[in-house]
């Protein structure tokens, strides 16, 4: 082997990549260099071969050209003594990043296999991805359209989101660092510039002209996920226009870059996609999508607009099928929009309940197993949500699970979480585990031109963060959710166990509660001894007139959105007058000033002296008793639903006896499990014939053998 040329000790300028690179045939530890793939200011990447396994690998060498020089024996030396400290600091960061990058397990990110020190520097060994660079791949494809572009971008977004979840930034996304494998799947390469966002030190300036955002041009720039989003937006701009974007530094004072909307083919890519690209490439980092989820939501909205898909819970034009009974989503759509210009048009802030679901160890499975696991998980999630009206929930798919926003009854989130966990345990045992977090907080609904809803905001962020505190197959809830549930559920103390405050990765404290296992919950108190056993129906309390209820609900809706109607209905049986109702509901208002205004509205009339505070008749000792002379309204005389609190009324129907319903539920549960009661409840409201009810329930059973088993068991009903 002939050694390469000796680099001089102190040349006036740093050598080029080819000049400084290790020669072909040179061995580094257990790897033989085959050729140089590329390089930059901080390192050189080689195609090498693992001598033991005879497999190709990508070998990344730490070689900051401005600080180092290659000696005759191919070792790396610092150019000047005063640069040694900077070199060593960078070397340690290089190894730190290698350790962290080795934890990435995503099919669209090049995987780190190992790292080691040698030749006076350090090396990272990565899987070698064979394929074509994005530039070469595009040149061989038919003309690009929206579907083809998104087929490349969506997987990259998923991979980038996995990087950002570990508080890393890629910082060098460009066409040269995106490869397309032989099967057409993209992979994001070259994490040599990747850095943690929580390192406590200024991030170095990494610049790929045309694709780097302005904040990467200087070490004091405010870099974050939005920086990678700019770069990916620039890649999309290049893909749809064929033009390399103008450097971001030249756009800060006078932005002369032609917008994608102006030069992109809207007929091919759709105006929504072009708008999303321009949004991602905003020179001001505050005006871009702040996370991958926001950009993905915009792209999904653009795709749905192009394909004509309808919004969740909203029937497409001409569809005459009966839609969901709930109008909560429509209510939310008409809620007051947030202040702002045209960029904020269509964004609504409301209060919602978010159930975040995270599949345990999902990324550790092979890609094929991940797809199967996700499919089975989604099937069970659909079953768990069957009892929730489509129009009052929005389901968002995440890379390792899902998030569901409930705009109606907050108890529906916990009911769904409990049912999903039961279904998972029943079908897969401990083979498939999920972490579940539930939070009630402010969310932002983003509606596209087709009224398709997506969810953003602090409510979904907090739900995802508290999910990290859950153990496998455990449900945890936030303090905000607990406070509301404890006001509308009698047995909240027996349902939740406090876990105390927990710090998330952003050092934000969350006080959380674990949902207790059924066998660990304390026994229910005797109903006759219940604190509310003698509480009169709210319809008998004369101070809560329909006019008062409308006022209270309207005031609450102004602060929290469509959830107000549900909370008012659930709090009524526990209130003893207008002010008592306000106190029960005030806990659901997150803003202190709005909460105080709701508790003490302007112009509120005080109760005359000697009159009862809650509409009853005073006795001789001036004590008030509920006036039971008023008839109870039939629409409110039923039991309020609360299956998770132990107060759920037994199934009943004027057409079927209790014994028949019990027999049907028992037989159905033997073949489909805990879903039986919910399905029975749904169908008894639709059928008056026992035969028709049996057939409808049998239709819910997938397997023919189990269906026959159910029909045989219910052939002779009591």
Beta strands in 485-552 (DSSP E): 496-503, 509-515
Q: What does the pLDDT read at residue 59?
A: 92
CA atoms of 403 and 478, how far apart (whole Å): 15
Rounded average pLDDT over 671-675 = 71
Q: What is the DSSP letter of 523?
A: P
pLDDT at 201 over 50: no
Look at 524 and 622; give whichever has higher pLDDT.
524
pLDDT confidence tier of residue 156, bands split at 50, 70 and 90? very high
Q: Which of 288, 393, 251, 281 has the alpha carbon at shortest distance from 332?
A: 393
Q: What does the pLDDT read at residue 551?
A: 81
Q: How far is CA 386 from CA 380, 433, 439, in A?
A: 10, 21, 21
Q: What does the pLDDT read at residue 519?
A: 58
pLDDT at 579 over 60: yes
Segment of 305-314, 333-342, 453-462 carrying the highest mean pLDDT: 453-462
Rounded average pLDDT over 99-125 = 85
Q: What does the pLDDT read at residue 306?
A: 66
The answer to whether the CB of 607 falls within 8 A of the CB of 576 is no
Supply the mean pLDDT for the chain: 75
Rounded average pLDDT over 46-69 = 90
Rounded average pLDDT over 96-118 = 81
Segment of 214-223, 460-469, 544-553, 589-598 carrying the highest mean pLDDT: 460-469
pLDDT confidence tier of residue 334, bands split at 50, 70 and 90? very low
Cβ neighbours, 10 Å, residue 594:
16
pLDDT confidence tier of residue 454, bands split at 50, 70 and 90? confident
pLDDT confidence tier of residue 570, bands split at 50, 70 and 90? confident
Q: What does the pLDDT read at residue 281?
A: 92
pLDDT confidence tier of residue 453, bands split at 50, 70 and 90? low
Exposure string over 242-280, b if 16+ CB within 10 A, otherwise e? eeebbbbbebeeeeebeebeeebeeebbbbbbbbbbbbb
CA atoms of 221 and 237, how far apart (whole Å): 23
Rounded average pLDDT over 387-408 = 82
Segment of 43-57, 170-184, 506-520, 609-623 carrying the highest mean pLDDT: 43-57
Q: What does the pLDDT read at residue 28?
A: 94
Look at 559 and 628; give whichever has higher pLDDT.
559
Give the rounded distance of the alpha carbon of 91 from its chain centre. Answer: 35
Q: Report long-range pairs for 638-641 (Cβ below 8 Å, ≥24 apart).
A: 640/569, 640/570, 640/573, 641/409, 641/411
CA atoms of 673 and 665, how far apart (whole Å): 10
Query: What percent of the chain is modeled with pLDDT above 90?
Result: 17
Segment of 203-217, 594-608, 637-651 carrying the highest mean pLDDT: 203-217
pLDDT confidence tier of residue 452, bands split at 50, 70 and 90? low
Segment of 191-205, 256-270, 313-327, 684-698 carrying the highest mean pLDDT: 256-270
The answer to whether the CB of 168 falls within 8 A of the CB of 160 is no
Beta strands in 530-684 (DSSP E): 617-618, 624-625
pLDDT at 290 over 80: yes
| Backbone region of residue 577 per phi and psi (left: phi > 0; alpha: psi in -120 to 50; beta: other values) | left
Give alpha helix (H) positions in 395-496.
Answer: 411-428, 458-467, 479-488, 492-495
10 Å CB burial of residue 358 (0-12, 13-18, 19+) is buried
Q: What does the pLDDT read at residue 560?
A: 80
Q: What does the pLDDT read at residue 16?
A: 53
Cβ neighbours, 10 Å, residue 239:
19
Among the ranges given (220-234, 342-356, 610-624, 672-686), the one the predictor scored with the smallest mean pLDDT:
610-624
pLDDT at 373 over 90: no
CA atoms of 81 and 414, how far apart (whole Å): 63
pLDDT at 622 over 60: no
pLDDT confidence tier of residue 485, bands split at 50, 70 and 90? confident
Q: What does the pLDDT read at residue 192?
A: 55
pLDDT at 553 over 60: yes
CA atoms of 678 and 358, how far apart (whole Å): 25
Q: How far is CA 677 from CA 197, 254, 495, 514, in A?
A: 49, 64, 20, 25
The answer to whether the CB of 134 falls within 8 A of the CB of 178 is yes
Q: What does the pLDDT read at residue 527?
A: 39
CA atoms of 107 and 452, how far apart (whole Å): 29
Q: What does the pLDDT read at residue 233?
A: 94
Q: What are phi and psi of 530, to 5 degrees?
A: -65, 150
Question: What are the pLDDT digits (tens) for 521-544?
Answer: 555 444 344 444 344 444 444 456
pLDDT at 216 over 90: no
Look at 444 and 534; give whichever has higher pLDDT.
444
Q: Report long-range pairs for 582-588 (Cβ below 8 Å, ≥24 apart).
A: 582/552, 584/487, 584/488, 585/487, 585/552, 585/556, 587/483, 587/484, 587/487, 588/351, 588/440, 588/483, 588/484, 588/487, 588/556, 588/560, 588/563
Residue with tokens 């033991």: 52
């Amino acid at each position: 082997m002939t050694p390469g040329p000796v680099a001089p000790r102190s040349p006036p300028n740093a050598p080029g990549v080819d000049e400084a690179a290790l020669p072909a045939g040179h061995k580094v530890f257990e790897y033989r260099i085959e050729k140089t793939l590329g390089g930059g200011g901080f390192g050189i990447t080689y195609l090498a071969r693992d001598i033991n396994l005879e497999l190709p690998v990508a070998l990344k060498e730490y070689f900051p050209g401005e600080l180092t020089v290659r000696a005759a024996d191919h070792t790396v030396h610092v150019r000047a003594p005063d640069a040694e400290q900077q070199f060593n600091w960078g070397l340690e960061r290089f190894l730190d990043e290698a350790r962290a990058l080795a934890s990435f397990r995503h099919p669209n990110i090049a995987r780190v296999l190992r790292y080691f020190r040698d030749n006076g520097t350090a090396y990272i060994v990565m899987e070698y991805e064979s394929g074509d660079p994005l530039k070469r791949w595009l040149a061989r494809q038919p003309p690009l359209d929206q579907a083809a572009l998104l087929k490349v971008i969506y997987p990259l977004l998923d991979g980038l989101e996995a990087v950002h979840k570990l508080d890393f930034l890629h910082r060098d996304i460009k066409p040269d660092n995106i490869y397309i494998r032989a099967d057409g799947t993209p992979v994001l390469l070259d994490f040599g510039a990747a850095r943690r966002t929580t390192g406590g030190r200024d991030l170095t300036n990494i610049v790929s002209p045309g694709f780097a955002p302005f904040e990467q041009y200087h070490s004091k720039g405010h870099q974050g996920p939005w920086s990678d989003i700019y770069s990916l937006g620039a890649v999309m701009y290049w893909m749809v226009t064929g033009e390399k974007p103008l450097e971001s530094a030249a756009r800060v004072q006078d932005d002369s870059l032609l917008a994608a909307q102006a030069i992109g083919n809207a007929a091919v890519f759709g105006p929504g996609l072009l708008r999303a690209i321009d949004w991602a490439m905003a020179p001001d980092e505050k005006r871009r999508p702040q996370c991958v989820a926001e950009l993905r939501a915009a792209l999904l909205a653009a795709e749905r607009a192009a394909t004509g898909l309808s919004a969740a819970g909203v029937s497409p034009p001409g569809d005459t099928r009966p839609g969901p009974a709930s109008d909560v989503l429509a209510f939310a759509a008409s809620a007051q929009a947030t202040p702002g210009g045209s960029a904020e048009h269509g964004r609504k802030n409301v209060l919602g309940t978010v159930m975040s679901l995270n599949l345990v160890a999902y990324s550790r499975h092979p890609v094929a197993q991940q797809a199967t696991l996700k499919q089975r998980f989604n099937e069970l999630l659909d079953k768990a949500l069957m009892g929730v009206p489509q129009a009052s929930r929005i389901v968002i798919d995440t890379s390792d699970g899902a998030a569901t926003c409930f705009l109606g009854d907050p108890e529906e989130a916990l009911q769904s979480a409990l049912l999903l966990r039961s279904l998972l345990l029943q079908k897969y045992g401990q083979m498939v585990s999920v972490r579940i977090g539930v939070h009630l907080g402010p969310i932002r609904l983003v509606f596209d031109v087709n009224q398709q809803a997506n969810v953003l905001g602090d409510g979904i962020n907090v739900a995802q963060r508290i999910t990290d505190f859950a153990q496998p197959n455990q449900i945890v809830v936030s303090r905000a959710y607990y406070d509301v549930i404890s006001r509308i559920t009698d047995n909240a103390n027996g349902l939740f166990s406090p876990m105390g405050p927990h710090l998330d990765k952003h050092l934000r404290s969350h006080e959380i509660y674990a949902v207790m296992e059924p066998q660990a919950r304390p026994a229910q108190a005797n109903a006759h001894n219940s604190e509310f056993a003698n509480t009169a129906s709210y319809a008998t309390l004369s101070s809560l007139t329909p006019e008062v209820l409308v006022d209270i609900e309207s005031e609450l809706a102004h602060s929290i959105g469509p959830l107000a109607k549900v909370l008012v209905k659930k709090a009524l049986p526990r209130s003893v007058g207008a002010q008592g109702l306000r106190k029960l509901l005030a806990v659901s208002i997150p803003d202190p000033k709005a909460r105080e205004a709701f508790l003490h509205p302007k112009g509120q009339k005080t109760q005359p002296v000697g009159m009862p505070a809650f509409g009853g008749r005073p006795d001789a000792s001036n004590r008030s008793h509920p006036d039971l002379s008023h008839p109870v309204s039939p629409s409110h005389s039923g039991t309020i639903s609360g299956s998770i609190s132990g107060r759920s009324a037994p199934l009943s129907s004027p057409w079927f006896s209790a014994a028949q319903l019990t027999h049907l539920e028992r037989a159905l549960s033997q073949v489909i499990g805990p879903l039986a009661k919910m399905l029975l409840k749904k169908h008894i409201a639709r059928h008056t014939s026992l035969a028709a009810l049996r057939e409808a329930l049998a239709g819910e059973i997938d397997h023919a053998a189990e269906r026959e088993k159910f029909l045989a068991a219910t052939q002779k009903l009591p």
